[in-house]
Amino acid sequence: MKEFTHIDEKGRAKMVDVTDKGETKREAIAYGQIKLKDSTLERIKNGQIEKGAVLETARVAGIMGVKKTAELIPMCHPLLITGIDIKFEFENATTLGIYATVRTTGKTGVEMEAFTGVSIAALTVYDMCKAVDKDMVIKNIKLLKKTGGKSGTYVRENGE
C-alpha cells in the first residue's frame, strides 16, 4: 500500500519536498461543463448578457484562477506557469464546454491548476448569467490529459 505523501509520521499535514526531483516539461488539460437554459446560451453567443462579455471575462478569470491555485489548495506548490489557454465550446443548445490547458517546466505537475482554471471560468459564467438563469449546473470537471514527470503521460480513455 502506498503511503500518503502529504502526511508525516505523526499524522500531521505536510507539503511534499520536491527539492531533489528533476524538472520536466509538464502539461495538463482539464475539462468541465456548464448546463444553461438554451435562451441563456443564445444570449451569451449574441452578447446580450447585461454584465458584459461573458466568455472573455470567464477566460480572464480562469487564467487568474490558475495563477492563484497554490493560494487556494493548501498542499499545492507555487509554480512558474509558462502557458495558460482557456477555451470554450458550444456543445449543444444547453451546454458550454470549458477547457483549460496549463504548461510549466518544473518539479511538480499542473493538474490542480488546470482544474482550478476550469472551475473558476465556470463559476464566472454562472456569476455573469445568474440574473437570467439560476438553474445552471456546473458538472463533469475532469482531467483529460497530463504529460511530464515521473508518472509520465496520462490520457483519459473514455468520456466518463
Q: Which residues are catalytic?
A: 127
Residue 75 labelled as part of a binding site: yes
CA distance 105 to 83: 10
Q: What is the CA radius of gyration of the chain?
A: 18
Please say whether the beta carbons of 24 and 148 come within 8 A: yes
Contacts of 63 (CB under 8 A, 6+ apart): 84, 86, 117
Q: Which stretches of 6-160 are DSSP H helices? A: 38-45, 54-67, 69-72, 111-129
Residue 112 labelled as part of a binding site: yes
Residue 23 labelled as part of a binding site: no
Residue 77 labelled as part of a binding site: yes
Annotated binding site: 75-77, 112-113
Annotated binding site for substrate: 75-77, 112-113
